[in-house]
Every structure is written in C-alpha cells, then in structure tokens.
Structure 1
Amino acid sequence: MARIKVPYSKTHWNIEIPDKNLVGILESNASKFVAKKSQEEIVNEALDHPIGSKKLEELVIGKKNMVIITSDHTRPVPSHVTLPIMIERIRKVNPYIDIKILIATGYHRPTTKEELIFKCGKEIAENEKFVMHFSKEEDTLTKVGVLPSGGELWLNKLAMETELLIAEGFIEPHFFAGFSGGRKSVLPGVAGAKTVLANHCSKFIASDYARTGILENNPIHEDMLYAAKKANLVFILNVVIDSQKKVIDAFAGDYKLAHEKGCEFVTSLAKVDKVEADIAISTNGGYPLDQNIYQAVKGMTAAEATCKEGGVIIMIAACNDGHGGQSFYDNMAEASGPEEVLEKVLKIPADQTIPDQWEFQILARILSKYTVIMVTDLCDPEMIKAMHMEHAYTFEEALIRAFAIKGEDAKVGIIPDGVSVIVK
C-alpha cells in the first residue's frame, strides 16, 4: 500500500492507494529542490543582480512617492520575507519616500487584517500604508487605453499616478495565463472589473494556448503584457517557492525579462510526464489556495491533463470559504449540467463577459468529460452537489466511490500539489 502525504488547508493528510493500482506520482521537483542559501540571501542576491533593469535603489533615488503592488490573500507570496527587504533597501537610499502598498485583489474579495498579518508579518501589516484595490469602484480607476483583444483597459488610479510602480509576486504554473507572476500584478491584479472580464472572455479561455505553462501565442498573456507596459510597471521581484512555501529562487528586474527567466526555472522544476490514469487525484496545494471551490478548479486542471476521458477526478481541497464567487456558483447550480453551461458561455461576446465566467467555463469543461469527487470536511456538501460534483468527507470514501465507477483494477495517478506542476 502506497502512503502519500498531501496538503489540506493548513495541515496535511496521509492517504493510501493500493500498489497494484498506482501508476504514477506526478510531483514538481520544487519539493526536492534544496536551496543552498537562506530565503533572505536568495532575495537579496536577486535584487543585487536585476535582469534587464537598473537596481531598485537606483530607481527610487529622487522619487517622492512610489507604489508596491503585492498579491492578496489567495496567493502564498511570502511577503513577510520579501517586503521587509525591499522596504529596507528603498529607505536606505531614500528615507522620506512615501511608500504605499497596493493589494492586488483583482476580482477577489478584499483581504482581511488577519490575512494581511499572516501574509506580510505583524510589523509590516501594522506600520506600512496599505491600500486595497476594488475593481468595481470606478472612481478609483482610470481608463488607460484599449487592450490588443479590444477590451477597455481600466487600471487603479494610485498605480497610474505614482512616480514609481513596482510589484512583488511569485511564479507558478497557471491554468490559463501560463504562469502567475510578472505582468499579472497589473492585469488582473489592479485592473478594473470591465478589463478583467474582457481579458477572461470565453474565446480566450477556450484557446488551446491558454493552458498551464504556455506563454507564446497565449492571448490572455498578451493582454496582460500590454497592461503592464501601459501601467509603466518598472520593476518586479518574483520568487519561486517550494511545497513548504519557502523561497528557493528569486528573479528581479524588468517585468517581462525577469518574469520569463523565472518561468524558465519553474518549467525546469514543474514539468512532469502524464500517466494514463482512470482515476486522477489532485489538491490545490493547501492554504491559501484551497480555501474555496473557485480556486480548486486550478488543481482539477492538472488532473484533467493526465486523466483518461470518462475517468474520475478526486479533488482534495478544504473549501472552508465556500464556493468563492456568487456568479461562479449560480451559473453552475442553475444549469441542468455542464453541457448547458458550456453552450451558454461560448455564445457570450467578449465585451459582455460575466463575473466568474472563466472559472465556471473551465469547471464545466472538466465536468463534461470527468466525474469529479470533492473531498472536504469543511464545506457544505449540498453546495458541492448543486454544482454537479460529488462529495466525500474523507479520501477513503472518495476512492471507494471512484473504484465503484471505474472498477477495482482502475489505474490511479496522484498529483500531491496540482497547482505546482505542468503536465505534458
């Protein structure tokens, strides 16, 4: 019997799979990568050797104010490590510069004070100036132009009016933008709702290039690059983290060049060969990404990439925050099934994209081909069932159900962290 440790919320579960059924464990090498330096040393080294850019210290000289974009509570960016280092470096050469930290909520709910302390550390959270981005508050936005896709580009006024705009984040595989990090700090991070919706239109989501690990010809990525350029995003610090959310590498400098170099490194760690599985097991990497069903769709796409059509996906995610988006839930729950959702969404023009459309489009795509069993003891089972998925309180219960569907000899593949791999 194979015993495998998987993340769940802020803890781990040990799950067991019969040896005769297990055909592969698809795991990023990030879990085995051993950094030779401390997190602080890695970050400082990246800042000492920026890619395609002047050093951060040079950029802040003579500036009266600046904005640092940082991720919200749904992203495990170790800001308690990165922000103190950046702020110390900035104030060493420009002690009186006005620094505002803009939380890139994108289309998500605002970050709470408790979540901010968890992410940034108590000292930073209580002593620095934080501003929350609200994508639907038009008086906080300004129209900057038109995206390559044709959608209007609305960005946060604070980001556009500051003397210096920089961003921090992390790079991991992303299920339709190719990779997180870099330009995503601007779009969707601090973009207006109209812009986010246009960028996430059904045509783009349906593109074969809008997939995990793909940047070239990815229409969503191309819009994002344009937005970052128009925002005059001058400098980024992006880290790569392991399964323990520890920094194992960092890339600083130009928003495009430094990001691309980071993506190359992530690919070298995250690319795994698919296995032919009848049952694919995945997670969302634990907290903070497994807080809701909305985010859990990401981990499902990794299972989708290795599971045979007609198979079963077992998705282990706490989902303690519920569905994660009212439109996401309503559009799934009010439909007779995933086929109806897909038929509806593919007819929606780009300029009429509705909230959470991309998420329910991808979930419907998966559900149209696979049975999905959500495993959680922290979420309302009726909510999950209403969204056309099955529910199990324990992994053992889910596996029994999966074998009942696919047979006792079914081949099982497991992805301990579905958001950390690129399945090819």
Structure 2
Amino acid sequence: MSLLSQAVAPQGELLDEPTIIQTLEPLRGRFTGQKVLVLIPDHTRTLPLPQLFRLVADVLGDASQLDFMIALGTHPPMTDEHIRQILGLTEEERRDNYGHVGLLNHEWADPETLVSIGTVTQERVREIAGERWHPTLGGDVDILINRAAVEADGIVILGPTFPHEVVGFSGGAKYFFPGISGADMINVTHWLGALAGVRGTIGVKDTPVRALIHEAATHLGTPTTLIALVVQGGGLGGMFVGDYLEAWSAAADLSSERHIVWVEQPYRFILSVAPPMYDELWTAGKAMYKLDPALADGGELVIYAPHLEEVSVVHGHYISEIGYHTAPYFLNQWERFAHVPLGVVAHSTHVRGDGAWLDGQEVPRVKVTLASRIGPEECARLNLGYLDPDSINLEDYAGREDEGVLLVRKAGETLYRSRGDS
C-alpha cells in the first residue's frame, strides 16, 4: 500500500468537507468485518477532531468492532466527559449514534494493558543514535505496546504532523511510540532526542529518534493505515491517506512549508503565549521548544500561561526533585539522577534549552521565565525565572520586532527559526 489519496489546499486556504470526504473514501470497505483500532491525539493537539471523528466513524462503519484510542503517551488519562468534549459529542449522541464505538485511553503505566512485540538491541540503538549515542541510553529496549494494537485486524492512525522537539516532525508511527507504548520506548526515544537537543532536532525530517521509532514499528505485524493531517488554524491545509511511512513523509514535507516561520535575526526577548490546551508545564513547554531556535544567545523567553497551575500531574514529583536544567548538567552528575526516568530528564532539558558545563557549573544558553500561577518560590526551586502574569499586557510587546522583541500569541505548534541557525 502506498498513498491511497491526498489533498492539499492552496496556501492560505483550507480543505472543504466534500474534499475531506473524498480523500477518506478509499478507506470505505477496506476493513469490512474486521476489528479496527483508530489512534487519535488528546486535547493537546490542534485539529478539527469532532468533524473527523464523525467522518472516519462513517467510512469505517462496516467494521465488526471499531475502537478509538487516545494515544496519550504519559499524559494523564481523560475522563469520559473530556473525551466526549474533544470529539464534540453530547451524551445523547454518544449513546444513540456512537454507542457501538469504543472510546479508550491508553494506560502506559498498567502492565496488564501492554504486550511485548520484540526488542531493539543496544547495538541497534547505538547504530541508529550514531554520534548522539551515550551510555545513559542503557541496554536493550523492550518494545511494549498496548495489546489492543496487536489484537486488532487493522490500525488507522488519525493525527496531525507538526515540527516536534523530540522526533523532528510529529505524527505517523509516533502514535505507536510513545503514543501507545510502554515506558522503555518512551524513555529511550525522549532521551535520545534530548541528547541531540531541541535546536538540532525540531523541524528536521530524518532524525535518529524517528529512525528508532520506525525500527520499533517493524515489529508490529498489524496492518496500519495513516491519515496524516497538516493543520492550519482550526482546519486542514492538507491530508495524506495510505501507508504510514509514505503518508507521514508527505505530511512532514508539507508541514515544513506551512509550519515554520523563518526570521532574519534571532530575538533577544520572546513572549511566548501558551494556549489553554496546554494545561500543565509538561505540555506548555512547547511554548519554549518552538521558539528556542529563534532566540539569541543570552536572550530570554517568557512562557506566558496565566491559566497554568500544574507542572505535571504524572511526573511532577520527579520534576520538583530535579528542576529544569541543561543536558550537560545531568550528564556531568549522572549518579545523582540515574534513578529518574529518562523521559523526565529529557523534558527538563527541553524546557531549559542548550548549555555547557564549565568549571563544575552549568552555563545555560538562554534564560527561561515562567509567567503562570506557579509562584516565585516554586519557580526558583525549578531553576526557572518568575514573572507575575497579571503584570503583563500583551500589547506592550506587539510590533517590536525591530527592537529584538517578539510576541507570539499562540505558541506551541508553529516553529520559529532564525536563518542564521539553519
């Protein structure tokens, strides 16, 4: 199976519903009488999910069993009400029109939900990592995945592709690892990405982490079809349906055209507004990742998230212990942090950015400040700057690009990159 269908809207336009329906139509009848698992994102990704859920459920309506699973990775489980909300379903619609459709959370921490499909040997990880290899990546990697993926007759991945801090571009097989995987793959992929650094990874199509994810995916025997989406605003600028490698590749190419803003010079100060869909710093960190390549050495980035009160529901105790630091800080004191999951250490370095270790001291490349409901004492413990969000008037930062000041009103999905950093 290669690409079954595709549609791309002209720059500045969106695909209309008849075009979306036509692009999905080749899937009709491909799964008749089969048990189908559809993987979808949670609320931290922008896409017209209520529309797409209905259209995909319709086109797969002759499946013997149809389940939609939220590829949470290690994000907190969603309540039934929240799932209905992101799908745009009332209780009555859920009961009367979609009662036959399973709506499931991936539960990465429950071993009963996982099954091993093989191993990526340490030797193979080292080969894939290349110059990014470091002994902290550990040994062989057990490829644990939600058993629903193994028990299904067919898998359909429905998700957007954006520049991504860990893997280069999101989407595709990332919905397996870390989307519905166990801790080993989550930790190794994220730490490998951290060793490469955000600025060396984000917006790069072919990365070691993407290669590792694709390597692991070869161990899954369930036939997989990808509906790769390129989101613009609240709609679709493009969609590619078919083989999960080819559809993702095409979507990543389009995303590189539509989701990267090139600036002539890096900025000394960036006010990066994290939208409410990032309800903890674990995800609101994207307001840093997507702007880091456009921030000058010695500059400051403020994550403005006046709604945010939580660092991480799942991992907060570890983050509170280690704070936010650069990769050299951890690598030069590894014995202090070896007990912390690699994925958590990776998150810490992603938020803090690049740096160096000189004379036993950490020297960060930039300053990162948090303007949220997390108070100044906690920010100090986390090794982040603090700014009172109520003291900020966004308009004070608008239109000041010539002064080296950038305001980004919705950060987290569009990558900003300085031409001097390319």
Question: What is the TM-score of this pair, normalised by structure 2?
Answer: 0.78
Structure 2: unaligned runs, 5 residues or longer: 1-7, 126-139, 356-363
Among candidates 82, 106, 120, match of residue 133 of structure 1: 106
- Structure 2 residue matching 1:311: 3-state secondary structure: strand
Q: How does 1:8-407 map to 2 (within 5 A)?
A: 33-35=11-13, 37-38=15-16, 40-48=17-25, 55-63=26-34, 65-91=35-61, 94=62, 97-122=64-89, 125-126=94-95, 127=99, 128-147=101-120, 148-149=124-125, 150-201=140-191, 203-207=192-196, 211-216=201-206, 218-231=207-220, 232-243=222-233, 245-274=234-263, 275-284=265-274, 286-288=275-277, 290-318=278-306, 320-325=308-313, 327=315, 330-331=318-319, 333-334=321-322, 340-341=329-330, 343-344=332-333, 353-366=341-354, 368-376=364-372, 378-394=373-389, 397=392
Amino acid across the alignment from 1:133: H
Q: Does structure 2 conserve the Cα–Cα contact (< 8 Å) formed by 1:293 and 1:319?
A: no
Distance 1:171 1:222 in 2: 16
How many residues end up aligned between the 2 structures? 370
* Range moving further from structure 2, 290-299 or 222-231: 222-231
Instruction: State how far apart, in whole Å, the 1-side matches of 2:394 and 2:300 are.
Output: 10
Q: 1:293 offset after TM fit, Å? A: 1.2
Are the structure 2 counterparts of residues 70 and 373 from structure 1 closer, same or farther at C-alpha, using a change threshold of 3 Å?
Answer: same
User: 2:147 & 2:164 partners in 1: Cα distance?
Assistant: 27
Give CA-to-partner distance per residue, 1:306-364, whole Å, 9 cap, x none: 12211111222245351025545644554596564453459978x98445221012223
Higher relative contact order (CA 8 A, sep 6+): 1
Question: In 2, Cα distance between the equivalents of 1:227 and 1:196?
Answer: 12
CA separation in 2, counterparts of 1:82 and 1:305?
33
Measured in 2, the distance between the counterparts of 1:319 and 1:356 equals 23
CA distance in 2 between partners of 1:346 and 1:263 (Å): 38
The sequence identity of aligned pairs, in percent, is 17
Distance 1:325 1:385, change over 3 A: farther
**Please, which moves more after superposition, 168-177 or 227-236?**
227-236
Q: Following the alignment from structure 2 to structure 1, what is the Cα–Cα distance between the partners of residues 65 and 390?
A: 50
Given that residues 76 and 313 in structure 2 are in contact (C-alpha distance below 8 angstroms), is that contact kept between their aligned partners in structure 1? no
Gaps of 5+ in 1: 1-29, 49-54, 403-408
SS of equivalent to 2:30: helix
| Cross-structure match for 2:414 | 420
Deviation at 1:46, TM superposition (A): 2.5
Structure 1 residue matching 2:70: 3-state secondary structure: strand
RMSD (Å), alpha carbons = 3.2
Cα offset, 1:192, TM superposition = 0.8
Query: What is the CA–CA distance in structure 2 between the aligned matches of 1:36 and 1:246, rounded to whole Å?
Result: 6
Report runs of 4+ in structure 1 exceeding 6 Å deviation: 346-349, 398-402
Q: Which residue of 2 aligns with 1:405?
A: none
Cα deviation 1:278-321 (Å, max 9, x = unaligned): 1122233x131x21111122221233211221111122224535
Alpha carbons of structure 1 residues 90 and 219: separation in structure 2 relative to 1, 3 Å: same
For residues 76 and 83 of structure 2, what CA distance do their matches in structure 1 show? 13
How far off is 1:385 after superposition?
3.2
Residue 347 to residue 169, structure 1, CA distance change in 2 (3 Å):
farther
